[in-house]
Structure formats: C-alpha cells, structure tokens
Structure 1
Amino acid sequence: MKPEPFVVTPDAYARPLNVVGEKITVLASSAATQGYEVFLQHGEEGSGPPPHSHDWDESFYVTRGSVEIGYDDQVFVAPAGTFVHIPAGTTHSFRFGTGGGEMISVTSHGGNASHLFSRIDETVPPGPPDLEKLHAVAQECGVTIPG
C-alpha cells in the first residue's frame, strides 16, 4: 500500500509519551510513512536514556537548549542547530543540558522506536526508571542496554 500524504499541526499532536523523563511526541510513525519515524523530544535538564543500541539509524536535530550526546568513546555538547547521526548498532546516549531542551529525532526505515516509546510509556512508571522493567521492554523491542 502506498503511503498517503499527511500534515501534523501542533493542535493535532498525539499525547506526549513519558519515556525515562522525556516527553516524546510521535509526529510520524513507521505505519504512517511505511518506513522512517519522526519524533519531537522535550527533556528536563539531565533527562535522557541510558547507553543503548538498536538495529536502526537515528538522527537528532537540536532545536532548543543543548544536549550532551555520547557514542563510542566520544561525548560532546550539541547546542541548538546541531545535527547528529548515529548509525545502527552504535551504542549511544544523551542528556538534556542546563535548563532542558528539545530536539527532533528521525529513525531510518525499519525503526521500531514508536513501539519502544509506547511500551515504555505503558510499562515503566514516571520517576526514577525501574531498570528491570526498562530492560525487559528494551529487549522486547530489539534494543540492547549494555551492563
């Protein structure tokens, strides 16, 4: 089936998902695009996922504040206007900087992030993450959290 054109305006955004302290809004799911996914991610200072990897590429464009992004043995601070691409299989993490921030993320074809984010929102209560539940959901969705 051919994907249909669509428009998502701010007044039509889906409810933000609570994912390890972040608020993630699905702007385009793989079901809608029949391929890639697009998300709007808001985070309070210090929020973000633990180091993890998955079998889809992921790119980030910081739109507000700054985000500390780590991959392999590198860690750097990405201010607003910075674009970062993380290839599939790369262990990476990020933390929103002082005052929090916002970024757009895009996954490659075959990404499973919208399912992952929905399952975390449903399963892992807000607050300090229940690591056992987080690991179980991650594994279910094809995400590896080392350690």
Structure 2
Amino acid sequence: MNSREEFSASQALGEIGRIGGKVRRSARRGPRYFLAFGVAAAAYWAIIHFADRSLTIVADVGWLVFCVVSIVYACRSHVYHPVIWRLQWVVTGLFLAATVFNLWVMRYVQEGVGAGPVLAGVAGVLASAAPPLYGAWRGMAALGSRTRPVAER
C-alpha cells in the first residue's frame, strides 16, 4: 500500500497483520540459529572433553569455521523481533559463562581419573548446550503464535 492512499480500518488491520507475519517469518532465523548453535556447542565440547587429541584439532577447526559463518549469519539479520532481541543477550551471556566453565574444567576432565572428571565434562557439555537450545525453544514459541500481539509475549 502507498502511504498516500486512503484505506479503511479493516484494510489497515490487514496490512498490520501482513507486515507482522513478514517480520515473524524473517525473525525465525534467530531461533534456528540458536538450535544449530546449541547442537554444535554440545558436539564441540563433548569432543574437546572426551575425544582423542587428533579429533580435537578437527573440532577446533570446525568450531572456528562455524563461528565465522555464525557471525556472518547474525550480521545479515535485519529483522529485530523484541523477544528474539532480548533472548540474544540472555543466551549470549549464559553461553559465555558456560564457555568459561568449560575452559576452567577442561584440564581436569582431560587428565582426571574416575567419575568426577566425567561428571564435570558432562556438566560442561550440558551447560554449553542449554542456553542456545532454550533460546531456540523460547524464540520459536514467541514467533509461532499468530493470535497474540507482540506486547503480550
């Protein structure tokens, strides 16, 4: 619609709904990214904590490539849904805390013997996967509703 056109209230509501749907479709990139990031983070830290040294080098290179692609992907997103925008900050902060935890326990997990290092490694894997997976779940739930206005979410 052109901004100079006269239109009725029902046409205006229809246009608002159309634009809202377009924003929701475009904003789905965020939760999809969170899902991929959660799976990749869990795989990366599981390999780093529990795999052979030769496999960890491959994981490091793969993680580096994934992070570069992620930065490009995140920078290309031009739609800012309010829920997704807030989730990005929460997920990023929690993920950074989980990364610090994983770096802190990494030597203990790799060199330790017994159940303690294994439990610490599993806790690190779960801690790194949980924030992005929560972001994916919460983001898709917020974007999936077509009946509730954004302000109610």
Structures share a fold, TM > 0.5? Answer: no
Larger radius of gyration: 2
Give TM-score scaled by structure 1 length: 0.27
Higher relative contact order (CA 8 A, sep 6+): 2
Q: Normalized per residue, which structure has more helix?
A: 2
Give TM-score scaled by structure 2 length: 0.26
Q: Normalized per residue, which structure has more strand?
A: 1
